Structure 1
Amino acid sequence: MRRLLVFTLCIAVAACHRKPSVPADVVARVGERMIALADFKRYLERNTGTDLAQMGPEVASAILDQYVEEIILSEYASAHGVEIPAEQIASAVRNDAGATVIEKRDDMRRQKLIAELAADVATPTDIAVRAYYDQHAAEFRSGEEVHVRQILVHDENLANDIQQKLKKGSSFDDLSSQYSLAPNAKKGGEIGFVARGELPKMFEDEIFALKPGSVSGVIRTDSSFHIFRVDERKPPGVVDLQTAAPVIRERLKEEEVRNRIAEVVGKARKEMPVSVLTKRLPFRYSGTLPKSENE
C-alpha cells in the first residue's frame, strides 16, 4: 500500500512539472504568446503579397524573423506601459480592410514605441554630419547624366520613316504624340535625366554618344523599335556639404533609431524567452532566432 502511495505521488509531482502542451499549429513563441502558422501566412500575404508555398526557405526564414521581432517589440511595449485605446484600434481596423484587431493593436503598439524612441534621439551635430560626408564622399559624387526623350513603335518601316522626318527637322514632340506607343508619348516622349547603368547597355551606348539636340539611329529590341533624342547633358559633379546636410542628418538619425530598436529587442529577449518550433514549419528554418527542436 505504501509503495502504491509513493508511486502515485511521484506521478502527481511529475504531472505538476510537465510543460503544458503547445497547440499543434504553433510555430513560434514570444514569452507566453504563441504564434500560429496561419498568423505567419497572413503576415506574409499582407506584407509581401506572396504565398508561403511560393517562397524559398531562406527568404521565408528571414521574414519569420522579422515577424517575430515585430511581435517582440509589441509585447515589450505592452509590458512597459505602452497601450493603445480600444477605440483607436477599432478605427484603424475599419480603415484597413482585412486587418484583425490583434494585428492592428500590435502595429500601433510597435509604432508608438518606435516614435518614443525616435523622439529621444538628438539631432546630429554639424561635426557628425561633416564626418559622415567626408567618410562617404563617393555617395555625393554624381556621374554624367543626359536628358532623354524616346519614340517607341513596333513597325520597322515606320521607325525608319520617323527617323527620316526627324533628320529633316520635324518636331520630336509632335512625332512622339502621333506615333509613339511609350507611356510618355503625349509628353514628348520625355524620360528625363538618366545616368549610366540606368538603361539597357544597347540604349546607353547610343544615348551617351549623342550631343544635345541630336537623335539616335533606330535601335531594335525583340519586338520594338526605339529612337532617342538627347536634350541636355550634365557633367559629373559633387553634391556640396550644404546641400547634402539635411539628407545626412536624417540618415544619421534613422541609424540611431535602428540602434535603439536593436537594443530594445535585445532587452526584450532577456525578459521574454523566444523560440521557433522548427519541426512544425513547412520549410527548413535558417533564421537567427533560438530554435526549439523537441516540440
Structure 2
Amino acid sequence: MHVFKTIRGQIITLSALALLAGTAMAADAPAAKTAAKAGEASSPTTVVARVNGVDIIKAELERAKKVILSRNQMGQATMNDEMSKKVEEAALNQIIAKELLYQDGKKLEIKDLDKRVQEKVAENKARFKSPADYEKALKEMDMTEKEVETFTKEDMVIGNLIETKIVATTKVTDDEAKKFYNDNKDKFRQAESARASHILVGADQKASPEEKKKAKEKAEALLKQLKGGADFAELAKKESSCPSSAQGGDLGFFGKGQMVPEFEKAAFALKPGEVSDVVETQFGYHIIKLAEKKDAETVPFEEAKERIVQFLTQQKVQKGISDRVEELRKKGKVEILAK
C-alpha cells in the first residue's frame, strides 16, 4: 500500500521527506535551533551537520530549502529573517531525518537495487519534453546526473524501509474507523446535490454586444428545437461549446457553491426531467436539463469507511516515521555545525 508520494521537481521522488515536512521535529528539535544564522556566506562544500559520521554539506541544505519553498509556493525575496530561519531549520532536520532513515534502510536487502535505480532515473528523465528541459531542471536544482542517481537510490532504500517496517505493520481496526466516524459526523455531511446536463453557446465577458446577441439568439433557437422534441444529448453533442458536449452535456453531480450562481440557481430550481429557459452566465448562454437531485444527508459509515481507513493509515504511518527518526536520532550521533 503506497500511502506516501511526492516529487522533487520532476526529477526524483522523496517520499520520506514529504511526510516529515510537517512533523513537530522540524520546529522543535533543539539541535536545529543551534544552527548558524541564515544568510551567512559559506562554501557549497561547507559541512553544516554530521550524522553518524556522514557529512551534510551546505549545497544539500540549499537544495532542500528550494524544495520547501517550491512546495509551499514561497519566494526567497518574500521572506523575512524569521521565516528564512524556520525554512532553514526545517530543511536541515529533513536532511538529517533522511540520512538517519537511509542508514537504517541500508540494513535491509533490496534485490537488483542498482538496476532498479537506473530504470527509475530513466523513467523520470523521460517525463521531460527534451534533454534540454531535463538539463535545465538539473541546473535549477543545482544537481548533477550522478546526484540524481544517488538521491534515487536513497529514496528507494528509505521507501523500502517504510513499506517493510512501518506500512506493513500499520493496521486500522474497524473500531478505530467507527470511532473516527462517530467523532466527526459533521465531516461526512453531504449537502444537497444535483445532476444536470447543459448546452452552452459560448460568449465570454470580452465578447462584443453583437456577438452576445448572436449567441443568445442561437441558444433561443436551440431551446425551441428542444421544445419541439429534439433529443437533448444529441443536440448538446452537436451544438454545445462546453467540453461536456462529448458526454451529451452531462456534468455529473455537483453541490451548491460548485457552479457560478446563475447556473446553480436555475439548475436547483428545476424538477427532474425539466429543461430551463436560456440562462446567461459569464461563460455565455446555457440551456440546462436536470436529471436528478439528492437531498442533504450524512454519508453512511460503510460508504465512508475506505476513505477513513486510508486517512488513519496515513496518520499512523507518518507518526511511525517520526517516531523511528526520533529513536534513530537518540541512538545515533547528530552534530549541528556552523556554516
TM-score, normalised to structure 1, is 0.71
Does residue 1:103 correspond to 2:151, yes or no? yes
Corresponding residue for residue 254 of structure 2: 194
Does residue 1:34 correspond to 2:57, yes or no? yes
| 1:73–1:110 CA contact under 8 A, matched in 2 | no
- In structure 1, what is the Cα distance between the partners aligned to 2:77 and 2:287? 40
In structure 2, list runs of 5 or more residues that go unmatched: 1-40, 126-133, 135-144, 203-214
Report deviation, 1:213.
1.0
- In structure 2, what is the Cα distance between the partners aligned to 1:110 and 1:133? 32
Q: Letter of the aligned partner of 1:193 in structure 2?
A: F
- In structure 2, what is the Cα distance between the partners aligned to 1:118 and 1:126? 18
| 2:194–2:255 CA contact under 8 A, matched in 1 | yes
| 2:44–2:57 CA contact under 8 A, matched in 1 | no
In structure 1, list runs of 5 or more residues that go unmatched: 1-20, 276-291
Q: 1:207 aligns with which of 264, 267, 272?
A: 267
Using a 3 Å threshold, how does the CA distance of structure 1 residues 34 and 131 change in structure 2: closer, same or farther? same
| 1:30–1:68 CA contact under 8 A, matched in 2 | no
| 2:44–2:58 CA contact under 8 A, matched in 1 | no
Corresponding residue for residue 226 of structure 2: 166
Does residue 1:74 correspond to 2:123, yes or no? no
Report deviation, 1:113.
2.5
How large is the RMSD of aligned CA atoms in angstroms?
Answer: 3.5
| 1:72–1:268 CA contact under 8 A, matched in 2 | no
Q: Letter of the aligned partner of 1:114 in structure 2?
A: I
| 2:64–2:95 CA contact under 8 A, matched in 1 | no
Does residue 1:252 correspond to 2:312, yes or no? yes
| 1:149–1:188 CA contact under 8 A, matched in 2 | yes
Corresponding residue for residue 166 of structure 2: 117
Report deviation, 1:223.
5.0
Q: Letter of the aligned partner of 1:96 in structure 2?
A: N
The structure that has the greater radius of gyration is 1
Report deviation, 1:163.
2.0
| 1:207–1:228 CA contact under 8 A, matched in 2 | yes
Report deviation, 1:78.
2.7
TM-score, normalised to structure 2, is 0.63
Q: 1:89 aligns with which of 89, 112, 117?
A: 117
* SS of equivalent residue, structure 2 residue 269: coil
Report deviation, 1:268.
5.0
| 2:45–2:57 CA contact under 8 A, matched in 1 | no
Report deviation, 1:231.
0.7
- In structure 2, what is the Cα distance between the partners aligned to 1:231 and 1:60? 53
**Percentage identity across aligned positions?**
25
Q: Letter of the aligned partner of 2:311 in structure 1?
A: R
Corresponding residue for residue 289 of structure 2: 229
| 1:29–1:274 CA contact under 8 A, matched in 2 | yes
- In structure 2, what is the Cα distance between the partners aligned to 1:160 and 1:91? 58
* 1:266-286 CA distance string (max 9 Å, x none): 3455546476xxxxxxxxxxx
Report deviation, 1:229.
1.2
Paired residues in the alignment total 255
| 2:100–2:329 CA contact under 8 A, matched in 1 | no
